[in-house]
Amino acid sequence: MPKRKDIHKILIIGSGPIIIGQACEFDYSGAQACKVLRREGFEVVLVNSNPATIMTDPELADRTYIEPITPEIVEMVIRREKPDSLLPTLGGQTGLNTAVALAESGVLKKYGVKLLGANLRSIKKAEERDRFKKTIQDIGLEVPRSGYVHNWQEAKRVVEQIGFPAIIRPSYTLGGTGGNVAYNTEEYEKYIRWGLALSPHSQVLVEESVAGWKEYELEVMRDRKDNVVIVCSIENLDPMGIHTGDSITVAPAQTLTDKEYQIMREASLKIIRAIGVETGGSNIQFAVNPADGRLYVIEMNPRVSRSSALASKATGFAIAKIASLLAVGYTLDEIPNDITKKTPACFEPTIDYCVVKWPRFTFEKFPQTSPELTVQMKSVGEAMAIGRTFKEALQKAIRSLEIDRHALAAKHIDETVPPNQLKDKLRSHCWDKLWYVAEALRRKMPVDELFALTKIDPWFLNNIQDIVTLEAKLLAGKGTLPDARMMRAAKEYGFSDRYLASISNVTEPEFRKHRQSLGVNAVYKTVDTCGAEFEATTPYLYSTFETECEAAPTSRRKIIILGGGPNRIGQGIEFDYCCCHAAFALREIGVESIMVNCNPETVSTDYDTSDRLYFEPLTFEDVMNIVEKEKPDGVIVQFGGQTPLKLAVPLERAGVPIIGTSPDSIDRAENRERFNRLVVKLGLRQPESGTAMTYDETLNVAAKLGYPLLIRPSFVLGGRAMDIVYDEDGLRACVEEAIEVSGEHPILIDKFLDDATELDVDAISDGSRVVIGGIMEHIEEAGVHSGDSACSIPAVNIKKDVLEEIARQAKLLALELNVKGLINIQFAVKDDEVYILEVNPRASRTIPFVSKAIGVPLAKLAAKIMAGMSLDELGFTEEVRPDHYAVKEAVFPFLKFPGTDALLGPEMLSTGEVMGLSDDFGTAYAKSQIAAGNSLPVTGSVLFSIRDADKARAVPVARKLGAMGFKIIATKGTCIEFIRNNIPSEFALKMSEGRPNIVDAIINGQIDLIVNTTVGKQSITDSFAIRRNAVDRQIPYVTTIRGAEAVVKAIESLKAKKVRVKPIQLYYR
Amino acid sequence: MKAVLLLEDGTVFEGLGFGAKGCTCGEVVFNTSMTGYQEILTDPSYHEQIITMTYPLIGNTGTNPDDWESRKVFAAGFIVKENCPYPSNWRNQETLDAYLKANSVVGIEGIDTRRLVRHIRTQGAMRGILSSSELGIKKLTATLQDYPGLVGRDIVKDVTVAKPYEWTEGVLDVLTNTQDVPTPKYKVVAIDYGMKRNILRLLVSHGCEVVAVPAKASAKEILAHKPDGVFLSNGPGDPAAVTYAVETVKALLGKIPIFGICLGHQILSLALGGTTYKLKFGHRGANHPVKNLRTGKIEITSQNHGFCVDLDSFKGKDVELTHLNLNDNTCEGIRSDKLGAFAVQYHPEASPGPHDARYLFTDFTTLMAASKD
């Protein structure tokens, strides 16, 4: 069937900010959809609040609305654009939920908008647990026993039937938020109550636990002629009980015979038909009892998902792209297979390698929360590795994670862990369990026993046993270089040069030389969807150690772009955005682009993005292998964040042509002493500072500078282990960790500028000219990590001459550092004095935001500069000063991490960002808040608890809110201050003052907005309960007075109903 | 144990032997199915073929008594990237290595199988010798030179049965360990050119009483069973060389409903006046898209054939092309409504592979029902 004639204009809803459970995979799917649908001649309208996405680039859709994804706002877009259809299945759960809300409220009907892909009925069949259960049982398949509960009484009844352990799943929450496993009544009651509070409908599903069973996933595609194919099977290494997003997973399934696999395949076909997904991809999860093969259907996602992104990268079958084509009427046999070109997409990919996906966690950022893995997803990113064997892929995956672990080596855990504790670890669901598995195998624990403890299938355990056995042989030759046979064996098993070099006691480059002298070199194989049955036209490659190399480098002018690796807090989609733009830019100027990355969620690892894609870890070894094979004219390291930047010096030392700003310049900015000299040379100012290696040295520096102080380690991204201290107690509390994280480098101690305004500047330079991209004023004061602070373009409160001075200093720095490409500088302004806080001569996290605020693709321009063009040639010679406001707001994962304090500080904690655009600041800020999920109230009660230093500035805030009709409630000191200033204010007890207190009021739903500023450890601890309860109840809260001022402006705008929608294409005119 | 694979063009692969120690000649082919190696090994169509699995990790689920597709392992040799010595599956009873040893089949592992597959893809399927006993290339070359290959040879006679036999087992549900055996409504004679058991099981589960007969059974012998239909099975080698089978089918055409699979499809085609030719490297796997031209629907199919029916050879004849391979537009199924015969080139019985095309067995019973009326 050819494409439908009744569709002309399609609305696509994106997934919004990056959050745990919803990451770049939806940019990958959405960007593919936009591209392919426009190519097919459809008009595409896009709504997505996330500026760091490729899909929100103005070229990707006809009309791009960077607006909050709420039913109300999307309705405005529909009213304005009048699309005839809506594709709801590409924007994750957010996109799907929004589409469902619009369908249920009658908006779609009112405007004549058709749902493509899945209709409301089938979405509800898949999403509503009881309907899903019934549908599955009707087709003769089994689901775990379960029941819905709405209160504790019902919960008690249900668990009597189901027994322990019981799984608790709050309804209608994202990414399994609030999901838990309860092993006893006490835990059960706790989790039920938490779950009921989290669920928007106070509904929790209690489910029979199949913890310990094997977990599988199938990716299914269906077209409107009912052709169905399985794109990929995935087997989880971790058993049921751990969210699949947090599990190590392997493709294809490894331990199913054909008969069992076909049972699962048939079940999937039945399910997609019974649910009634008309066209597109779905993901179906199964649990299998390892003892007898009994099969339970766990869940189905009637949409493109994280797993489908993984399946696309694992097989080369572009699920989202094909789902989009199916949605507009094509059938599978009408769509060519992208990779072979000659065969159709109507087939089931077969792969001739093994794929391992390994999640990336950031528990170190949330020390108050338990690092135990459960049915609620906690990982913030993932790495994927491809090898010809599981062993090779597994070990490649480890080094892809970039957690400074390059093997399953014992040194990464406590090698002296006593046997009982080791067993506890093996029974637990800790994120680094495989290191304990390896250790248990080293201690000769039999695989059977290990299986009993871990429920990890013996097939995986035996493979790890192979690795451990070879490791023992290698360790037996400690201090000597392996011979050719041993070398080949080790490399075939995926051992990294880095680990092998450490065993041989030589440097990695020395080891590399030795390895190459033995003729043991990496070769590259193609991901081709078909196990080499047909010729592949797409150079999508991975390394292995075999005999034939398929890389076939061209003789074109070429540049390698090093990507950012797995998402983590501090390094996410923003850097992938920049890498993609580099690839697009190179394509535009006829230079071959070669992408290296190992993050399966991203657009950069779409084989369409670059001319050639190497799906490889970003380590010295793996990158050097590619460089030696490709012999590029240049390598770009400044777009992928800290990951490739760290490789700059070793690569340059190895003779690799690093293009753009030189590694020496990068070092001048990163190295504290050299940076100080630079600042002095240019006659600029920075806060007074010092460095220290020990606590005593730190004390000396503190005595010299005076408090407050900003303490941080060298060479980290995202403010890891950074802290602001106001006294010696605070100093003592944080120095140890900073010293540890800093390693051999000194910790940095700066005089902290209290109550200063922080500004971020992104600029671009070709070495002789510098153009300011944007000057962003942070909403939160200096001291909150720039990635966590809301910010505005243009600046709101800074005087014009100060802005000019900032621009002057930025240009001076860029020229002095001979920047070729991008530079990011952080300034603080206090009493109209400008201080330099930090200089990063590379692409920053804010590049996509700035690019979208001003309508200039800065990363693309920077890549062209690196390839030799000048700003003059590129026609970008003057700063764009928009007459609209663009506000970026950060989005946090606190809800996923119970017990974590939601206080902002110098260590970055946000996972994603949104952007609000409007002609006035208040509305732009209001939109950013709506988009970030902080639904600001327009009536109700505001609770104030304000530190002394802020009290004076809190007065006008309270006054304005009071004037707008809000009831003002305040704790003692604050209340007195308000009443003294004639602001009607109600007094409330602090927690330590008795009951009912402010926390009771929050829990009782009497508070609609919280303004709570604190200073020092004690008051932070006091107010912890306020913030935590606000997070759990999703009550908007502000922890800085500047934030409160912005909130007032936003509420004013909301009350005046000034929120309108407008596509970015119109802002740029 | 070292092992070596030598191809007729002189290409040599060195690896490690597993399974039986020995030396074996055959046509070197590859299969892209990621599951079902035990079924593949025991499929008689692989007689005199050395199979390369494109999926690198083979043996993960071991072997078991239920996954036999015939009475023995017919593959001449087995080539994998990594043979799994520690299978893990609740049905596993024996490692692949032990299984191949017990069935005297030579295996090789640790070679760059993707290189081998690409070589076959570009150069075509070719004769090869796999050995873990003799490793000298000169001697192996000489032995290989004496191996005649498949074209023009009747090797069905080597794999068929000597005497007719009855089959009563139905399709097994491994999860419940139950068989689907309805009361028979039709009597089917299945000509065993090297038949896979799952065909027999499916016939039984579709309500057929099944008698299998040797490949050389005459039309008269077949009709003496008073069947409602005749089934033509899969089998190995060059269909053009199995002239007796073609003659038998010619004699049956129009007299009784006929359903053929794989070699059976080729033999029916030859009987209908078509011709066959050898494909460059064949179709072997579980993911080939086939379009049913009557319904327009696509089936993902299990395939195993090196020879193919020439579409053009039916020009002007009263034969309908019913199924088309979407990868290379080759003939996957034909039908003559007038003569009450149909066949497919691929394997609707799967095992291994997807079950999308099982409706063909119902089509067969429908055809028999119609002719009974």
For testing contact with chain B, the best of A352, A459, A461 (most B CBs within 10 A): A352
What b/e sequence results for B151-182 when a residue is b if at least 16 CB atoms lie within 10 Å of its CB, and e otherwise?
eebbbbbebbbeebeebeebbbebeeeeeeee
Which of B23, B208, B262, B331 is flagged as catalytic?
Answer: B262
Quick one: pLDDT at residue A1014? 82
**Residue A728: per-residue pLDDT:** 87
| Residues of chain A found within 8 Å of residue B116, distances taken between Cβ atoms | none
B349 carries an active-site annotation: yes
DSSP state of B46: G
Q: Please, what sign has the CA dihedral across residues A548, A554, A555, A557?
A: negative
Which amino acid does the sequence have at A592?
E
Nearest CA in chain A to B82: A389
Q: For A666-714, what is each residue's pLDDT tens digit?
A: 989 988 889 999 999 999 999 998 888 888 999 999 999 998 998 888 7
Across the interface, whether the CB atoms of A293 and B112 are under 8 A apart is answered no
B114 vs A532: CB contact, 8 Å cut-off?
Answer: yes
Structure-token pair, residue A369: 């929360």
> Would you state the pLDDT for residue B1?
92
Contact residues for B142 (Cβ-Cβ < 8 A; gap 6+): none
With pLDDT > 70 as the criterion, what percentage of chain A qualifies?
98
Interface size A-B, in CB pairs within 8 Å, comes to 172
Run of H or E including A828: strand A820-830
The number of beta carbons lying within 10 Å of the beta carbon of residue A745 is 17
Nearest residue of B to residue A332, measured between CA atoms: B298
Q: Given an 8 Å threshold on Cβ–Cβ distance, is B352 in contact with A258?
A: yes
Closest C-alpha to A998, from A989, A986, A987, A1008: A989
CA distance A70 to A284: 27
| Cβ pair B117:A260 closer than 8 A | no
pLDDT for B270: 97
pLDDT in tens, A600-628: 999 999 999 999 999 999 999 999 999 99
Q: Report percent pLDDT > 90 for chain A.
A: 81
Q: How many other C-beta atoms lie within 10 A of the C-beta of residue A664?
A: 13
Whole-number Cα distances in Å, A738 to A477, A689, A691, A826: 37, 16, 12, 21
In tens digits, chain B (373 residues) has pLDDT values of 999 999 999 999 999 999 999 999 999 999 999 999 999 999 999 999 999 999 999 999 999 999 999 999 999 999 999 999 999 999 999 999 999 999 999 999 999 999 999 999 999 999 999 999 999 999 999 999 999 999 999 999 999 999 999 999 999 999 999 999 999 999 999 999 999 999 999 999 999 999 999 999 999 999 999 999 999 999 999 999 999 999 999 999 999 999 999 999 999 999 999 999 999 999 999 999 999 999 999 999 999 999 999 999 999 999 999 999 999 999 999 999 999 999 999 999 999 999 999 999 999 999 999 998 7
Please identify which residue in the block is written with the tokens 């764009």: A880
In this complex, the residue of B54, B287, B289 whose CB is nearest that of residue A352 is B54
Q: Looking at the predicted structure, is the pLDDT value of residue A176 above 80?
A: no
Q: In this complex, do A349 and B287 lie within 8 Å of one another by their Cβ atoms?
A: yes
**CB < 8 Å to A547, chain B:** 112, 115
Look at residue A993 in the predicted model and tell me its pLDDT: 87
8 Å CB contact of B117 and A295 = no
DSSP lists the bridge partners of residue A256 as: none
Rounded mean pLDDT, A459-482: 97
- For residues B54 and A552, the answer to whether their CB atoms sit within 8 Å is no
Per the listing, tokens 């309270």 go with A958
Nearest CA in chain A to B118: A532
B347 is catalytic: yes
**For the segment A1001-1025, what is each residue's pLDDT rounded down to a tens digit?**
998 889 999 999 887 665 677 788 8
Does the pLDDT at position A744 exceed 80? Answer: no
* CB of B272 closer than 8 Å to CB of B334: yes
Stretch A128-155: mean pLDDT, rounded?
93
Nearest-CA distance A660 → chain B (Å): 39
Specify the range with the lowest mean pLDDT, choosing from A124-138, A501-515, A705-719, B220-234: A705-719
pLDDT, tens only, B118-136:
999 999 999 999 999 999 9
Distance CA A101, CA A172 (A): 12
**ipTM of predicted complex:** 0.98
Kindly indicate the confidence band of residue A715, based on its pLDDT and cuts at 50, 70 and 90.
Answer: low
